[in-house]
Each structure stands twice: as C-alpha cells, then as structure tokens.
Amino acid sequence: MRTSEAQPVVAGIDGSRTHPVTVDLAADQAVRRGVPLLLLHIWPGQYTGRYRCRGPVPAEPDARRLLDAAARRARQRAPWLTVGTELRTGSPAGVLAEHSETAALVVIGRRDEGPGRPGWGSTAAYLARHSRSALLVQRGGGQRHGPVVLAVPGPEEPAAPVRRAFEEASLTGSKLVAVHVWRPGEDPVRARRYLVEVLAGWAGRYPRVEVEPLAIPEPEVAYTLERASRRGRLLVAGIRHRGHLGDLLLGTAGNGTPTGLSPVLMIPPGPARTGRTALSPRTARAVS
C-alpha cells in the first residue's frame, strides 16, 4: 500500500546487481521532492506473458526479503524518509505504467540486454514511450558530475523537457548543454536560430544557469550523445521524443548501451508532476 496520499517516487527493484544504486537514486529524488518513496518489486512467479524471466523463478519469500533489504538501504540513506514497499505479480512494464498514473516520478535501472538488443531492456523501453509521469533511468553507478544535457524538442513537441532541464541545472549548480539536431537538407542557420529562440525565455527565468546551445547535423548525433552520456550528470528528453536522437536514447539505434553512463530523465508531454512540498533546511542541505 502507498505510504501517503502525496504522489510518491516509485522505484522498480528487480534484484539485479545495480539495483542498490537505483534505490539510492530514488531515495535522493524522494527527499528532494519531500514525498514518500515506494519500492516496488514485480515477482515473476505467476506471470506467464511473453517476457517471462529466464532460468529458475525465485520464491515469493525471496522477493519479500529483496524488498525488505531495499527498504533498509533507503532508510539508512535518508532516515527521515517515509518508505513503503509493494510486491506485485504480472508484467513489470504494465505494473510500472499503472503506477506512473499517480507517481511524482518513476525510477528504474537499465537492464544490460547484450549486443543486438535494446540497450535499456523491454521494460524501460516501454515506459520511455508510455509513462504518464517523469521517468528516471539509472544507467551507471555513483555520484555523477558534469553538465545537464537536454535533447531539445522539435517545434511541434511539448516544451516540458526544456523547463525540467533548466530546473535540474539550477538545483545542481550545473551547466546546461542544449542539443538540437538538424537533418540533411535543412538550413543549419534556421536550426541554430530555432535553438536560440527555444532557450531564450527559459534562460531569463534561470539567469544563473550557464547555457551552451549546440546545433549539430544528424550524422554527429551518435558521437555527441555518447560523449554526453559519459561526461554529463544527467540527460533530459521528452517521453515519445521523435527522431534519431530519441531512438539513440532508447538504445534502439545501436548494439546496446555500455554501463557507467549518466541517468536519463524523460518528461511526459503534459504538465510534469513533481509532487514537491517545501523542504526543511535540514532536508534541503541533505540533498544539495
């Protein structure tokens, strides 16, 4: 059951070797927003769908012990945080998508699917197209440094990712690198002008954020994204972001995504639910 009527941060815990990092990241995000943390594990014991896990299915008591251990870790990281757990059966993608209807944020880890398969795994790839809340995909380990990198939405796409990228850069005191892709046949001058216009209004609201606009031709996207993933602290893009850049973020344009990369924050097209309340000075210091 949910621990509060406030919109929680929901973290999907899968028992992989990197899931403790996902727990830490989710706890930090819940503290920043002043909302509860809900740790969710989808036990595969009764699931008979297409993407049933390979190998022996863990027993239900093992699943509960996994959740209990994750909750202890979250409470050790943030003793003042309200932490709840929930064990479900079914499709992980479906259950997490259901929770995204009322979550402030969904946090999951990236599955290493290996060469020739989507770099995020089927659950993350599905949520990156269908989540109703913001989605944070943990792809590496430990504290990240460097700039916030924004995949600038196109003229017909919602501007919510731009606002969130400025917010994240302001909160972390980071530089913001805004990347816009122009395709062969397009006028690069118009592409750069569009990028400047998109950023101008938000830069006025966040005057302390250093902004680097970067308009690149489509053939340079893969290289630029790879460098940003290794050197940045966070990548921000829109859910259902169209185009080659969005496909690369999902890992569908290559042969899998290596580990040790920055998290990706994907923003839904509607008004993003932050679930934030006022933070006490102690809490604000803890997450700064």
The CA-atom distances, in angstroms, between 192 and each of 151, 152, 182, 187, 188 are 14, 12, 9, 9, 6
Hey, which bits of 126-209 come out as E strands? 134-138, 148-151, 176-182
Q: Would you say 131 and 97 are in contact if contact means Cβ atoms under 8 Å apart?
A: yes
> Pairing mode, if any, of strands 134-138 and 264-267?
antiparallel
d(CA 4, CA 111): 30
At 23 the pLDDT is 95
Retrieve residue 70's tokens. 């994750």
At 139 the pLDDT is 81
At 234 the pLDDT is 92
At 280 the pLDDT is 31
Backbone dihedral angles phi then psi of residue 134, each to the nearest 5 degrees: -60, 145
Instruction: Tell me the mean pLDDT per 10 residues along the chain, length 288.
Output: 69 87 94 95 62 59 91 96 94 94 92 51 84 90 79 86 94 93 88 93 93 91 84 87 57 46 86 44 31
At 245 the pLDDT is 58
At 125 the pLDDT is 83
At 18 the pLDDT is 81
Q: Would you say 211 and 199 are in contact if contact means Cβ atoms under 8 Å apart?
A: yes
3-state helix, strand, coil in the chain (%, to 5): 40, 20, 40
At 186 the pLDDT is 85
d(CA 165, CA 233): 12
At 230 the pLDDT is 84
How would you label 16-36 residue by residue, b for 16+ Cβ within 10 Å and e otherwise?
Answer: eebbbbbbbbbbbbbbbbbbb
